[in-house]
């Protein structure tokens, strides 16, 4: 068993840094990028604002990693069907075709992730494949229901020991260094000190936008940093209207995700009237696509007061000991059912990239949840996020290393100024504005949306961004820049949702169908 990665003390930045490849973010996508670039002979600097494994979305991932088995075509069809036929077939083909090789190379052979196995080795490796919603067969590798933490720690340990990789934790990227359509690195901050990092190629792997919502299955660090920095530098951003909500997050204090794998093993959803309701919403019942189940759970909670996940048909404590322990720690008797509600889970869009992770800015790449590869379209199939991060991370790392080989070209480029004048920033400014932003996103740009609500949200978010910009023009701080990034991305989501096709995660309702409870 791998020991959990222990972060080292952060380096203090007191001078400009140069590297072949700069990777921003330390989830599976960032780690895969760093590994692939280092394998190609590039010197890699990986910076992450996380200081603990729990601060990355990868660590929080429960379900597992889907891979192609005997029928790759069925995997492709499942991805396309879950997306409501909006995913890019060519991107899906890349994901499926490279899934097994990428997983075997990195996760099984290099990191030795202890995926659950079965005694009866019908599979050549004896893996205990699971099935989740909208999958037509068992194809998901997993470790209990806590796969992510068994990937991220070992991955960082491996990179920490690599001679070509330097890790710098508790380090936030604040701005890209861009000039005339080319990115030359980023300005980063560690322990209050800021300095430029110049790079032959820069890769954004900053995760999602969960911190923009009050209830999310993401860590609080998921403030949309990479998407905002790329958009501000001029990169295209696509499909950000499609924000996926997971249907079964614990509906109490200190929420946690109840993995879709539990429903894959047979758990059922019951409303407050004691009725199993999912067969009335979809022929696949509890295993319908996530957007369908999430809206059904929300509807039934509103109609009957609550929804509970009945794990009676499952060997819950034996199959999912980690989840059972989380229930018990919160005083939940899972034998009586786990109260659940939808929570923000995954952004299907992001920075537009090609099949190598390239953006439309020269030398800038994006991978993982902050990127829009086309794989997910309007709705993501379960257990494809870690796989997408791995596959595109490996591809982007190779290409970034190749492009960085032409050398640095920053002599004529100035890094953005780090402003340190103090405009008497009000105490608690960032915290209070985040509360306001989350309220608007929850009420107007959440699971249920109306044209009128989106128009109102756009106006409120535009004003909020203006208030934040007034301070970022004269002051540099991590918390303020995270707020700036969150406000930029929130506005992008709301604006795109006003014009996006209402399909998958983005379902518009008439105003009278949604309770107008916003207080913005």
Residue 404: which H helix or E strand, with range? helix 385-404
Q: How many CB atoms lie within 10 A of CB 6?
A: 11
Query: Is 126 in contact with 116 (CB distance < 8 Å)?
Result: no
How many alpha carbons fall within 13 Å on the CB side of residue 124?
A: 4
| Whole-Å CA distances, 86 to 247, 386, 400 | 21, 20, 28
Picking from 393, 489, 507, the residue whose alpha carbon sits closest to that of residue 441 is: 489
Query: Is 165 in contact with 42 (CB distance < 8 Å)?
Result: no
Task: Order across the sheet with 350-352: list the strands.
Answer: 237-238, 350-352, 371-372
The torsion angles phi and psi of 130, rounded to 5 degrees, stand at -105, 165
Helix (H, G, I), strand (E, B) or coil at 117: strand
Helix (H, G, I), strand (E, B) or coil at 330: coil
Picking from 482, 494, 480, the residue whose alpha carbon sits closest to that of residue 443 is: 494
The torsion angles phi and psi of 508, rounded to 5 degrees, stand at -85, 145
Q: What whole-number distance in Å separates Cα of residue 107 and Cα of residue 127?
A: 13
State how beta strands 165-168 and 44-47 pair. Answer: parallel
In the numeric block, the tokens 């406000």 are attached to 487
Residue in 152, 290, 395, 438 annotated catalytic: 290
Query: Is 111 in contact with 158 (CB distance < 8 Å)?
Result: yes
Query: Is 257 in contact with 217 (CB distance < 8 Å)?
Result: yes
Q: What whole-number distance in Å separates Cα of residue 409 and Cα of residue 407?
A: 7
Helix (H, G, I), strand (E, B) or coil at 516: coil
Q: What is the DSSP string of 415-483?
A: PPP-------PPTTHHHHHHHHHHHHHHHHSSSSB-HHHHHHHHHHHHHHHHHHHHHHTT---HHHHHH
Query: Is 166 in contact with 22 (CB distance < 8 Å)?
Result: no
To the query of whether residue 39 is one of the catalytic residues in this protein, the response is no
Tokens of 37: 């670039």
In the numeric block, the tokens 């209050």 are attached to 192
Q: What whole-number distance in Å separates Cα of residue 387 and Cα of residue 382?
A: 10
**318 contact partners, CB below 8 Å, separation of at least 6:** none
| Enzyme catalytic residues | 290
């Amino acid at each position: 068993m791998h020991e959990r990665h222990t972060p080292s003390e952060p380096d203090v930045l007191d001078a400009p840094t140069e590297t072949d490849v700069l990777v921003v973010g330390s989830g599976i996508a960032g780690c895969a990028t760093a590994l692939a670039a280092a394998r190609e002979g590039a010197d890699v600097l990986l910076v992450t604002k996380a200081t603990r494994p729990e601060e990355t979305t990868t660590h929080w991932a429960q379900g597992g990693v889907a891979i192609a088995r005997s029928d790759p075509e069925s995997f492709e069809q499942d991805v396309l069907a879950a997306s409501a036929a909006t995913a890019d077939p060519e991107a899906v083909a890349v994901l499926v075709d490279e899934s097994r090789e990428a997983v075997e190379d990195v996760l099984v052979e290099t990191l030795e992730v202890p995926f659950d196995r079965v005694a009866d080795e019908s599979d050549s490796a004896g893996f205990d494949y699971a099935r989740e919603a909208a999958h037509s067969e068992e194809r998901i590798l997993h470790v209990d229901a806590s796969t992510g933490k068994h990937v991220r720690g070992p991955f960082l340990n491996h990179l920490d020991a690599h001679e070509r990789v330097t890790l710098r934790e508790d380090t936030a990227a604040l701005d890209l260094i861009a000039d005339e359509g080319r990115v030359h690195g980023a300005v980063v901050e560690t322990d209050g000190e800021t300095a430029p990092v110049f790079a032959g190629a820069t890769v954004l792997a900053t995760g999602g936008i969960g911190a923009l919502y009050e209830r999310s299955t993401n860590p609080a660090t998921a403030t949309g940093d990479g998407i905002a920095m790329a958009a501000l530098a001029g990169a295209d951003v696509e499909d950000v209207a499609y924000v996926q909500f997971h249907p079964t997050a614990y509906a109490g204090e200190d929420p946690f995700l109840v993995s879709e794998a539990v429903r894959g093993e047979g758990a059922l959803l019951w409303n407050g009237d004691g009725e199993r309701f999912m067969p009335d919403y979809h022929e696949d019942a509890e295993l319908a696509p996530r957007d369908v189940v999430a809206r059904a759970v929300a509807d039934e909670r509103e109609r009957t007061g609550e929804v509970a996940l009945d794990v009676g048909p499952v060997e819950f404590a034996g199959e999912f000991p980690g989840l059972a322990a989380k229930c018990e720690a919160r005083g939940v008797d899972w034998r009586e059912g786990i109260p659940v509600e939808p929570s923000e889970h995954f952004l299907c869009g992001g920075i537009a990239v090609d099949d190598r992770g390239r953006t439309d800015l020269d030398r800038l790449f994006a991978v993982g949840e902050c990127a829009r590869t086309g794989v997910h379209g309007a709705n993501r199939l379960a257990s494809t996020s870690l796989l997408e991060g791995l596959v595109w991370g490996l591809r982007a790392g190779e290409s970034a290393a190749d492009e960085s080989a032409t050398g640095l070209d920053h002599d004529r480029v100035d890094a953005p100024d780090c402003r340190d004048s103090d405009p008497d920033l009000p105490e608690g400014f960032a915290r209070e504005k985040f509360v306001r932003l989350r309220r608007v996103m929850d009420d107007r740009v959440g699971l249920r949306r109306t044209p009128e609500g989106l128009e109102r949200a756009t106006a409120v978010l535009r004003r909020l961004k203006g208030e934040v910009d007034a301070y970022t023009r004269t002051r540099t701080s991590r918390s303020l820049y995270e707020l700036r990034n969150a406000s930029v991305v929130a506005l992008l989501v709301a604006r795109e949702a006003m014009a996006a096709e209402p399909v998958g995660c983005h379902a518009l309702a008439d105003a009278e169908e949604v309770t107008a409870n916003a207080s913005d």
